[in-house]
Amino acid sequence: MKHLLITTIAAVSFSLATADAKQGKPNFIVVFCDDLGYADIGPFGSKTHATPVLDKMAKEGMRLTDFYSTCSVCTPSRSSLMTGCYPRRVNMHVDEKNLCVLFPAASKGLNPSEITIAEILKEQGYATMCIGKWHLGDHPDFMPTSQGFDHYLGIPYSNDMNRKEVPLPLVRDLTVVEDSVHRDTTITARYTAEAERFIKANKDNPFFLYLPHTAVHGPLTPGAKFKGKSQDGPYGDWVQEIDWSMGKLFRVLEETGIDDNTLVLFTSDNGSAREKQGSNLPLRGRKGRTDEGGMRVPCIVRWPGKIPAGISSGALTCTMDLLPTMARLAGGKAPSDRVIDGKDIWPILSGKNVDADPRDVFYYYQMDQLQAVRSGDWKLFLAMDSKKRNWGKPEGSTVLKLFNLAKDIHEDNNVAAGNPEVVKRLIAFAEDAREDLGDVDRVGKGQRKAGWVDKPSPRLLKK
């Protein structure tokens, strides 16, 4: 009887310790919208898109007002979120034909030797799933299930990449389950339902859900019940469907009793691509450019009881920071055998040091070209040789332009002439980047190889 009692007590103690350990590891949900502009949601100033769920999320969490994607187009920005590195560091800034994003049947992809945020969390006992747009290579070696995710459901690239030879597929893990979902108006609802199922299935275990939406990348395909509901046509309708999707996620977190143990981060891969639909105001520019409107994106982070409610941070943060921050919160560490450009921003998110910049400098690359540098409130557009490629170059960028973003968020007033020491300091940062990460026609010493296959293997429906 004594032995049975001791065994029973030990079993109960082990069970409680396990429960405590699970409670100690927060769940992570990262929602990564496509081409959503800085002012496309209520918490960042939208007047045409009703986003009550995101409004509530901001009231219950923190807005990061100076949060950046590391590039103003799709593939490079996603490589940074996954690896915690600048796209040029992992050689995902261009495809094999020197185009800005990967296309179906690409030979290039995210190198499997890179350590992704999913792999780090998986080592800490997390269930991992990616639902949505991947865009880091469609060969099996480059797909989510080879990069730390237990499961995947989504479109491997952008929803406008429907080809006769490679129809736009819906893929589960590595298998095409639908030959073409081009212009599918149910895609957001389907992603949302899959996310709900994943959360319910893993409510008793720590999990990482990466939800890179197809919305609001063109062609615009909002669900039927959202059409005509906004003041901004199909674009606004789709934004409002994203808000609905967020509501469904928060509801299932509450129903499963894990809301207080889940960190949810909502952001975008770059600024809005549109001049008449979508808004990056008060920022200048759009997708494809290194003006603020191309790379500064809306970001809200919520974790009840852990992240202060209803406040904002103007610290210089970015998508690369997710990997080291979540690794730390999960009880792990960022890789130490390679350079990781991201910073642990938990001191900011926890409210301990809300406005302290975690980095001295941030680099604005457009494909293979370093175009601008930011340090503190200062942003310098570099003088670039007009004979070199100037993809997406900002107007007038063949001369040095210095802006104080705290006073001039729209980048209107060039104050380089009056601040020579600031210009000198930022140029020195730029030279460091060129040495480490490279520039046009210059390989950086700190660059690593992308993944490569000689025989591409796109995801096709088996017949």
Closest CA to 301 of 283, 319, 324, 280: 319
Q: Mean pLDDT, to the nearest integer, of 269-278?
A: 82
Q: What is the pLDDT of residues 303-312, one digit of tens each?
A: 999 999 999 9
Q: Please give the Cα distance from 405 to 414 (Å, whole number).
A: 11
CATH code given to domain 362-443: 3.30.1120.10
Q: Please give the Cα distance from 172 to 191 (Å, whole number).
A: 12
Confidence check: pLDDT of 259 > 60: yes
Three-state DSSP at 44 gives helix
Q: Please give the Cα distance from 250 to 54 (Å, whole number).
A: 10
Confidence check: pLDDT of 15 > 50: no
Determine the pLDDT at residue 389. Answer: 52
Please give the model's pTM, rounded to 2 decimal places: 0.92
Determine the pLDDT at residue 386. Answer: 55
* CATH superfamily of the 26-349 domain: Alkaline Phosphatase, subunit A (3.40.720.10)
Q: Please give the Cα distance from 268 to 429 (Å, whole number).
A: 27
Among all residues, which ones are annotated catalytic?
74, 135
Confidence check: pLDDT of 95 > 90: no
Q: Please give the Cα distance from 327 to 69 (Å, whole number).
A: 19
- Asked if residue 102 lies in contact with residue 76, where contact means CB atoms within 8 angstroms, the answer is no
- Matching CATH topology for 26-349 and 362-443? no
- Cβ within 8 Å of residue 206, ≥6 positions away: 22, 25, 26, 27, 121, 124, 125, 126, 127, 330
Determine the pLDDT at residue 385. Answer: 62
Determine the pLDDT at residue 20. Answer: 38
Q: Where are the domains of the chain?
A: 26-349, 362-443
